[in-house]
Structure 1
Amino acid sequence: MAMMPRNEMLLGAQTEEEKFTVKDLLAIPLLEEARLLAGQKSILRSITRVSIIEISDVNSEVKSGEFVMTTASAFKDEPWRMRQFIVELVKRGVVALGITTKRYFNELPPEAVAEAEKQGLPLIELQKEVVLSDLVKIVMDRIQALETSHLVILQNRIQSMTRLLLDGSGLYALLDAMEDMLGNPVAAVLENDKPWLSKGLRGAEPLEVWPLLQSLTFRQVGRMSSGGFTLLQNTYRIYVNQIPSRRKRQACLVLIERNCDIQPLDTLSLDRMSPLAGLELANVEAVHEVEGKYLDQFLQDWMTGKIISEADWKLRADVSGCTISEGTPMCAILVGWKTPEPAEKLKEIARRLRSERLRSVTGMLAVPIGDDLALVLPLGNLPQTGQEREEAAISLINRLLAELRTVLGDQELRLFVGRIIERSNELQGSWAQAKRARQVAEVCGLSGETITYDRLGVYSILYLIPSGVEREQFLSRFALPLQQADRKGGGRLMETLEMFFRCNGNIKLTSEKLYAHYNTIVYRLEKIQAILGVSLDDPEERLQLHLALKIGQITPGVPG
C-alpha cells in the first residue's frame, strides 16, 4: 500500500510547548553511560509518566506517554517474548523502554532490538549500576514541574472546542479546529461508513489520501474498547479513542501522526474531546436519517414514474438533497445478488452506498425498491458518437461493479443496466429496462457480470414469443431430433452446433474450442445436416437452426 509523505508542520498548528523528552532523559547525568540501541527518530517524544515493570505481560496500568524501565528478569528463561512485549508497549503509547543489562542478559536479543527500531520505540540500555528508583525520582521531579502548565493548556483546549460546538459550526469545523490545535489531521470514523476528515486530509491529492481512507475504515481501525496507538497498513501511526455513544454502530476519534509526533498531551486532549465529537456526530446522523427518508421516497417515486412534471422533480430533488442535475447522462441499474437480501438489509446498504466515497464514480444514488436494490448512475461527460459512448459507459459500469464487490464483500454481484437517458422523466423507462434485462438473463440463462438492455440482442425478442403449438412445432423440427440423437449416443451434436455458430462457422476454431479433431467436427456437422435434412451452406436454413437453438435455451426440455 502506498504511503503518504510526512508533511512539515502546517500553518496554524500548535506551538511547541514545554516538555520533557527522551532526548532530555538521555542528558541526565545518571544516564551518561546509557546506550540508545533503537528508535533514534523518536527521541523528541514527551515523557509524562515513568514506571518499573518486572512482568512479561503489559497490564492496564501502563499509559500513553510513559517511560518504562525493567531489569528483564521476567524474560531470562524466555528471551523470545521480549519482542512481543515491545509491540504491546507501543500499542499502549509508551514513548521509551529502558532495560538494565549485565544482570540477566549480557546483551539484548537482536530480534527485540530490531522490533524496537521497526516500531519506532527508543530502546535504552541501562548500566547495571543504575538504581532504577533513583532514576524514577529524578524523572518524576522533572515531569511534575510541567504538569501544571499542561493542565492549563488542556483546560483551554476543552473550553475552545466547547465554544465551537455551542456555536453550531458543525463536525467538519470541529475536526479542523482539532487539527489546528494538535498539529495533526483528525478523523471521526463510524462503523461501516465513510470517515469524516479534517482539512489536512480533505485538501490532499486523491492518490495521496486514498490509501489512508482505505485504512481508516472501521474494519482496519478495529473495534477498540479503549484508546490506544495502532499502525495502519500504510505504516502511519495513529491514536484511537472510542467515542461514547448509545448507538448500535460504534465510532471512534482518530489522530493521524502525519505532520509531527503525537505528544501525550495530544492523546489526553483527544480523550477529553471524544464526547464532544460524539454529540456532533449524533446530530449529523439525525439530520442524515431525516434527509435519507426524504431521499428514499423521492428516488422511489422518480424511478417508478410518480413524478410527472419537471418542476415537481426539480423541487423534490432540491429538498431531498439529490446531487444529479437536469440534463446529466445517467442510467438505472439493478443489483443482482446470488442470495436475495432482506428489505431491512437493502435499506442499510443503500444508505451506506450513498455515503461511501467510491473511486470509480461520484454522485451515485442507491435506493431499495421492493425487494430490489436500484442505482442511479450519473455518467458525466460521455463521447457523442454511439459506439464510443456505449464503450465508455460499459467501462465505467465494470469499474463500479468491481468496487461494489469489494465494498459489499460479495463477489457474486451482477449488474443489470437500462439504457442511457438524459432527461429526468426517462428514468422510469431505464429502470424498467434494467428489470427486463434481469428477467431475460434469468430465463435465458445468460452469463456475464454486467447485462445491459441494449446488448440483449435477439434474446429480448425471443423472450416475448408466447408458448404455443407453432413454437413447439418449430423446436420439434430443428432441435428435438438432435436432442434425441444425443441421448442415443449421437456424439454431442447440440453442443457442436452451438459452438459452430459461436465460432461464426469456422470449423477449425470449433474443433479447438471443443478439444476435438477437425475431422470429428466435420463428421458431426454432416450428421446434423443428414438428421435434419438441411444444409449449413444455405443462409435461410442456417438462420432457422440458429433461432431454434436460441429458443431452446429459453425453454429447455420442451416435450416432443
Structure 2
Amino acid sequence: MILQESGITIRQALEMDCLDKSKIIAGHNGIDNTITRLNIMADPDILHWVNEGELLLTTAYSFRKDDIELQKKLIMECSKKKLAGIGIKIYPYIDGLSKEVIDLADALGFPIIDLHYATAFTDIMTPIFKEIFNKQATLLQRMEAVHNDLMAVVLKGGGIREIIRTLKQTIKNPIIVRDHHFDEYIYHADRNETIDYKHLIERSSLFFENNHENKKMDTKTEKLDILDERSVKKVMIPIIVKGNVQGHILVWDIVRPISNLDKVALESASTIIALEFLKKSSVYEVEHRYKLEFFESLISSDERRKAAAISRGNIYKLDPNGWYQVLNIRLLNIWDSDKKKKQEPLDSLKAKFILNLEKILHHEQWHGLMISKEEKISILTMFSNEKESHHRTKKYGNRIERLCKEIFKEGNFVIGVGRNYGGLEHVYKSMNDADRAIEAGILLNKDKMIYFEDLGVYKILCHDSLREELNSFYQQTLEALVAYDRCKNTELLKTLQVYFETNGNLKKMSELLFTHYNTILYRVQRIKQITGRDVDNAEDRFDLETALKIMKILKCS
C-alpha cells in the first residue's frame, strides 16, 4: 500500500538543492503529488514495469522531434499509471515540448519537470531517495509507537474503550467500534468533546441493519456519510475473528482529514480488538455452557443430579424457596428458502434476541436464567413470592413477545408459558407446562404466545400418557361420522362443529352454512343416527364436543 506519509511531494522535491535549477513547466495542479520512488527511463517500454507514485527521470534524446502523438501517448500512459510526474532533460536534445503536450499535461494535472541538463540523475536520485527513506523510517517509528501504546493498554488489562481512547490521541476523530455478535457500540467521549455520538450510532445502525451484507464487509471501506447536511468521509475497518467479520471500526473525518497513517493505525488496532472480541466471546460461551448444564440438571428426572443443581443455585442467585416460571420459545422454519441469503444467521438472531432481552429485563429488575439450545430458547424467571409471580408474568410475557416479533420478523416462532411453582425443585414442572403449551399452540393453531394456564380442557387432553385413551374415545364417538362424510361426500362433521360454535342455534347454523333450515334439522338427525349420541342430551353433547377437541389433537399430531 502506497502511503502519502511515506514520500515527498513534487513541490517539496523542487525545493531541494538537487532540483534548484529545474522547474515545473506543465501539470501544475499535480504539484502536490507524492513521490515514493524514482526510476529512469531509457526506453518507453519501461512503462510496463513502473509503479504508482514513481517520479520518472528521462531525457528527450529518444523523443522524435516531430512525433507529437508519441509524446502525448507517453504523457497519457504515465498519468494512467498514476506516476507522481516525469522529469525530462529537454535541452540540448530538442528545443522544447510542443504546446499540445503541455496542454495535455495541464489538463491531466500531470507534472512535467524540465531538468537542468548539467545535473546528473544520480545527483537527483540520491538526495530524494534519502529524504523518502527518512520519512518512511519516521512513519515506521510512529506506527510502532501507536502499536506499542495499544498493546500496553491490553497488557494493563484495558478493554476496547481504553483502546479507542488511546487511538484517538493519534487520529483525533470520533471512533466507534461496532460489535455485530453482541449487537453493541463501544466508544469513548472526551470531556470537552462536542461530537454527537448518539447520532453517529443511529446512522451506523441504519447502515448495518438495512442490509445485513454490510456486516460482512471484509476489507477497508470508505464511504460518504451525511451529517448535519454535509458530506463526511467515513472509514470502516473490519474486525475479523476466526476468519469471520465480527465487527467494524468506524471513523469519521469530522475534526481533521483521515490520513493513511490513521488507516494503518486503525488496521493495527483491529487485530488487537479482534483478540478482545475473541476473549469476550469465549467467556460468554463458557458461561452459557455452564448455565445450560445447570438448567438441564435442574429439570432432570435424576434426583441426585437435580439435588446437586439446586445446591449450586446460589451461583446464579436463585433462591431455593423462590417462585419460578419457565417460558420457552421454539423457532420454526426461521427462513423461507428464497429469503435465507438476505437474513441474518439463526445463531446471530438468537444471540441478538438474548442480549436485547437481557437488557430489557435487567431494567425491569428481572432475576433468572436465559439459555439457548438448537432452535429453542428457555427463560427461567424467579419471583420472590406467588403474588409477585401472578402480577409480573403477563408483563414479562408481553415484552418477550414484542421482542420476538421485532427480531424474528418472519414470525415463525411459538412461545409457551408454564405455570408458576414454588421451590427450585419444581422448575421441571413449569418446563413441561411450557413445552405442552407450545405443542397445543402448534396443534390448535393458536396465537404466538400460549399460556398453559389458559388452555382449559386442553391441559388434560394434551398429555402424552392419554394418547391411547383419547384415540379410543374418538373412535367410539366421531370416527363413524368422519367415515360417512368421506364416503358420501357430506358435511355432517362441519354441521356438528357449527352447532357448537352457535350454541345449538339452528337458525344461525342455517345462515352460516347457507343451508335451508329443514336441511339442518335433517343433518342433526343423521348425526344422532350415525354417532348414537343425541345433542339434546347433556352428557351426549359433552361427549361430542370433547371428541371434536380430541380430533384436532389427533389429526394435527
Q: Which residue of 2 aligns with 1:523?
A: 519
Contact in 1 for aligned 2:179/2:246 (Cα 8 Å): yes
Q: Secondary structure at the match of 2:351?
A: helix
Please say if 1:367 is aligned against 2:371: yes
How many angstroms does 1:332 deviate by? 3.0
Q: Secondary structure at the match of 1:240?
A: strand
Q: TM-score of the superposition, structure 2-length normalised?
A: 0.58
Q: Deviations over 1:41-86 (max 9, x none)?
A: xxxxxx99699xxxxxxxxx999xxxxxxxxxxxxxxxxxxxxxxx
- Specify whether residues 430 and 372 from structure 1 end up closer, same or farther in structure 2 by C-alpha distance, changes over 3 A only: farther
Task: Give the alignment of 1:17-416 within 5 angstroms.
Answer: 132-134=109-111, 156-179=145-168, 182=171, 183-189=173-179, 192-195=181-184, 197-199=186-188, 209=201, 212-213=204-205, 215-216=207-208, 219-230=212-223, 238-243=234-239, 247-257=242-252, 260=255, 263-264=258-259, 265-304=261-300, 306-308=305-307, 312-317=311-316, 330-338=325-333, 352=351, 356-358=355-357, 361-362=360-361, 365-367=369-371, 373-376=376-379, 378=381, 391-406=394-409, 411-416=411-416
- One-letter amino acid of the structure 1 residue matched with residue 219 of structure 2: S
Please say if 1:452 is aligned against 2:442: no
Contact in 2 for aligned 1:298/1:317 (Cα 8 Å): no
Contact in 2 for aligned 1:298/1:316 (Cα 8 Å): no
Q: Deviations over 1:496-537 (max 9, x none)?
A: 32244345556677677x6x42x4477336512443166656
- Specify whether residues 275 and 304 from structure 1 end up closer, same or farther in structure 2 by C-alpha distance, changes over 3 A only: same
Q: Deviations over 1:402-436 (max 9, x none)?
A: 24424xxx643323332245754443221121223
Q: Which residue of 2 aligns with 1:482?
A: 481
Q: Deviations over 1:132-173 (max 9, x none)?
A: 124999xxx9xx999999877655543432221221112333
Q: TM-score of the superposition, structure 1-length normalised?
A: 0.58
Q: Which residue of 1 aligns with 2:545?
A: 546
Contact in 1 for aligned 2:498/2:509 (Cα 8 Å): yes
Contact in 2 for aligned 1:329/1:380 (Cα 8 Å): yes
How many angstroms does 1:270 deviate by? 0.8
Q: Which residue of 2 aligns with 1:92?
A: none
User: Structure 1: how far apart are the matches of 2:484 and 2:378?
Assistant: 47
Q: Deviations over 1:107-139 (max 9, x none)?
A: xxxxxxxxxxxxxxxxxxx999656124999xx
Q: Secondary structure at the match of 1:133?
A: coil
How many angstroms does 1:236 deviate by? 8.6
Contact in 1 for aligned 2:174/2:254 (Cα 8 Å): yes
- One-letter amino acid of the structure 1 residue matched with residue 235 of structure 2: Y
Number of matched pairs: 426
Q: Which has the higher strand share?
A: 2
Contact in 1 for aligned 2:235/2:251 (Cα 8 Å): yes
User: Structure 2: how far apart are the matches of 1:326 and 1:227?
Assistant: 55
Give the alignment's Cα RMSD to 1 decimal. 5.6
Contact in 2 for aligned 1:358/1:403 (Cα 8 Å): no
Q: Which residue of 1 aligns with 2:427?
A: 427
How many angstroms does 1:391 deviate by? 4.4
- One-letter amino acid of the structure 1 residue matched with residue 222 of structure 2: F
Q: Secondary structure at the match of 1:395?
A: helix
User: Structure 1: how far apart are the matches of 2:246 and 2:333?
Assistant: 31
Q: Secondary structure at the match of 2:216?
A: coil
User: Structure 1: how far apart are the matches of 2:411 and 2:308?
Assistant: 40
User: Structure 2: how far apart are the matches of 1:511 and 1:179?
Assistant: 78
Q: Deviations over 1:209-266 (max 9, x none)?
A: 4663464479343433421214689999642223465x14334541143964651243
- Specify whether residues 284 and 193 from structure 1 end up closer, same or farther in structure 2 by C-alpha distance, changes over 3 A only: closer
- Specify whether residues 548 and 226 from structure 1 end up closer, same or farther in structure 2 by C-alpha distance, changes over 3 A only: closer
Q: Deviations over 1:458-507 (max 9, x none)?
A: 122123474678974x5456423432442244632212322443455566
Contact in 2 for aligned 1:367/1:374 (Cα 8 Å): yes
User: Structure 2: how far apart are the matches of 1:233 and 1:497?
Assistant: 65
User: Structure 1: how far apart are the matches of 2:554 and 2:280?
Assistant: 53
Unaligned runs of 5+ in 2: 1-24, 37-50, 54-99, 115-127, 336-344, 363-367
Larger radius of gyration: 2
- Specify whether residues 307 and 544 from structure 1 end up closer, same or farther in structure 2 by C-alpha distance, changes over 3 A only: closer
Contact in 2 for aligned 1:437/1:452 (Cα 8 Å): yes
User: Structure 2: how far apart are the matches of 1:510 and 1:200?
Assistant: 70
The range that moved more, 152-161 or 219-228, is 152-161
- Specify whether residues 155 and 372 from structure 1 end up closer, same or farther in structure 2 by C-alpha distance, changes over 3 A only: closer
User: Structure 1: how far apart are the matches of 2:450 and 2:274?
Assistant: 44
User: Structure 1: how far apart are the matches of 2:451 and 2:420?
Assistant: 10
How many angstroms does 1:271 deviate by? 2.0
User: Structure 2: how far apart are the matches of 1:367 and 1:479?
Assistant: 43
- One-letter amino acid of the structure 2 residue matched with residue 275 of structure 1: T
Q: Secondary structure at the match of 1:451?
A: strand
Unaligned runs of 5+ in 1: 1-29, 35-46, 52-60, 64-102, 104-125, 341-345
